[in-house]
Structure 1
Amino acid sequence: MPELPEITALAGFLDERLAGATLTQIVLPSAFTLKVADAPYESLVGRTVDSVGRHGKFLAFNMGAAPQAANTDEPLSLIVSFAKDGWLKFSDTEPGTETGSTGGYFAAQLGFANNGRDYDITLTDDGAWKGLALFIVRRPAEVPGIAELGPDALSPSFGLEEFGRLFTKRQQVKGLLRDQKLIAGIGNGYSDEILHAAKLSPVAIASKLEPDAVERLFRTMKELLQGAVTELSGKGPSEVKPAKKASMRVHGRTGEPCPVSGDTIRELAFVGTSFQYCPTCQTNGEILARRGTVKG
């Protein structure tokens, strides 16, 4: 699933090209994709993009008021939740150039015009279960997932004291980092990387961590995510995912040697998901088993 660094890079890339652009076309082949619509999706056509931004792991196209009131003259936001396997394809062409068929499944197509160029975005979902979702709302906070977000992981106002207050429950630290109601923006991949860099077990119980371990985790989270944002900044959509994958030290690298210890990277799999870790770096050499136990 795209996480904070990828969505930040994607929003910056799109904002640079689409701020001030006019939405010229929107195609939704399936009504299933559109979860909430405060206005008909056709009413977005003709609106100007004020900005493209991010809320947690959501992408937001913030649109200005309609030039001619079409059901509503209020600003609207088109919010994208990519879910597990969603992403987008981006192309820019001279006006009137045929872009051709995308081929295969797509969740939506958007066309824009800005400063003499046409821009086309295709929202794709490669998963067997199509989870990519769109929301058309007057304010991003009207999307339930955004309204429930905790503080953004990279927000300057999210400090160590507030972070430390999260570590009071008997909850595995891996799950805590991924809980969007507690911290916004971190998913399965970067939580693996953060815990590895902080030398903490993914199944460690949050309430049992010593204060110095909590502080180390906090500093690592901030530094690793900011480094990933910097590394991905300026890259196009087709480059972001490969760059993320290449940067991963443990996530998605089951069976490979840990770049720090040389130990074999292990995986703990659950229904529909899995995570990776280094026994030497994170669990004192113990191999994790299902349900968070360890094998001696």
Structure 2
Amino acid sequence: MPELPEVEALRAFLTEHLVGRTVARAMPVAVSVLKTYDPPLSAVEGQAVTAVDRHGKFLDVTVGALHLVTHLARAGWLQWKDQVPAAPPRPGKGPLALRVVLDSGEGFDLTEAGTQKRLAVYVVRDPAEVPGIARLGPDPLGEGFDRAAFAALLAGERRQLKGVLRDQSVIAGIGNAYSDEILHAAKMSPFKLAASLTDDEVNRLYEAMEHTVREAVERSRGVAAGRLKAEKKSGLRVHGRTGEPCPVCGDTIREVSFSDSSLQYCPTCQTGGKALADRRMSRLLK
């Protein structure tokens, strides 16, 4: 899933390639991709792109007086094309969900792999009309998001740290992968309760979050859209690396599986050497 660093890199890439250009055609291919109907998608055609912004994990392309907002969800991606095929795309079972063509002949495709179609596109007059944007918490890269603001968000949170970091209404932009990376850098269990943190632990978690997110943004800066996925994976230390040695201590990275996702962690670095219960695997072994 694209998270804050990758979406920020896409924002920078699209700013360079879209701003000042005019949208010639905007063509939905998958029925499920459009979440709004008024204004219609066709309303962006013939309009110039004036800005590209990011709200958490949402991309926001300003076209004329409208906003073309995209959430790539778990399996969505943006593919840039220096020359868009002349033939219009055909609806079908392929990954293509939406195509945007510029007056220059360049453009981009929004694609989504897998059978669960969650990629979402909105055409709105104000980004705040998108429910997911209206619910967003503060951005880790935003002005004023300091240690005190972070501590205030955690105060009274009776949930586990993993869930709090992934909750977009608490902090915008962090997902499954970077929450694993942050907790590993902070040397904290994903199951530790947020409200139980000491002042020193709050400091450690805040510093780990800031360093992890900013480092990933810098690593992605200037990377072409087509290489961002590979760049993200190469920089991850624990997420998606079950069974590999921890790059810090050498212990084996473990996994906890859930119904539709999983987390990875290092027992030595994060849980005092204790393996966390994998409830899904436990049920299978009964």
- TM bin (shorter chain): over 0.9
Corresponding residue for residue 88 of structure 1:
78
Q: Distance in 2 between matches of 1:43 and 1:152?
A: 30
| 1:269 alignment partner, one of 253, 257, 269 | 257
* Equivalent in the alignment of 2:127: 140
Shift of 1:157: 1.0
Give runs of aligned pairs for residues 211-230 of structure 1, distance below 5 A: 211-230=199-218
Runs of 4+ in 1 over 3 A off after TM superposition: 96-103
Matching residue's letter, 1:122? D
Quote the Cα distance in structure 2 between the aligned partners of 1:10 and 1:60: 11
Indicate yes or no: 2:159 matched with 1:171.
Answer: yes
Find the aligned partners of 1:154 and 1:97 in 2 and give their Cα distance: 37
1:78 equivalenced with 2:68 (yes/no): yes
Cα offset for 1:166? 1.9
Listed as ranges, the matches of 1:105-254 within 5 Å are: 105-113=95-103, 117-167=104-154, 168-254=156-242
CA RMSD of aligned residues (A): 1.8
Do the aligned partners of 2:238 and 2:266 also contact (CA within 8 Å) in 1? yes
Name the CA distance, whole Å, in 2 between partners of 1:40 and 1:86. 22
Secondary structure at the aligned position of 2:36 is classed as strand
**Preserved contact between residue 84 and residue 127 of structure 1 (Cα < 8 Å):** no
Larger strand proportion of the pair? 1
Counterpart amino acid of 2:257? A
Alpha-carbon separation, structure 1, partners of 2:94 and 2:34: 19
Query: Which structure 2 residue ranges, 5 or more long, are not aligned?
Result: 281-286
Deviation at 1:99, TM superposition (A): 8.3
Q: How many positions carry a matched residue from both structures?
A: 277
The alpha carbon displacement at 1:91 in A equals: 1.3
Sequence identity, in percent? 48
Equivalent residue for 1:20?
20
1:254 Cα deviation from its structure 2 partner: 0.3
Q: Say which SS state the counterpart of residue 165 (structure 1) adopts.
A: helix
Distance 1:110 1:278 in 2: 43
- Tell me the TM-score normalised to structure 1 length: 0.90
What is the TM-score normalised by the length of structure 2?
0.93
Structure 1 runs not aligned, ≥5 long: 65-74
Look up the equivalent residue of 1:177 and give its one-letter code.
Answer: L
Alignment deviations for residues 95-147 of structure 1 (CA, whole Å, 9 cap, x no partner): x975897993211011013xxx4212110000220110110000101100000
SS in 2 for 1:53: strand
Distance of 1:261 and 1:101 partners within structure 2: 50
Q: Which residue of 2 aligns with 1:281?
A: 269
**CA-CA distance at 1:58 after TM superposition:** 0.4
Q: CA-to-partner distance for each residue in 1:173-214, whole Å, 9 max, x for gaps?
A: 011110000100000000000100111110001111111111
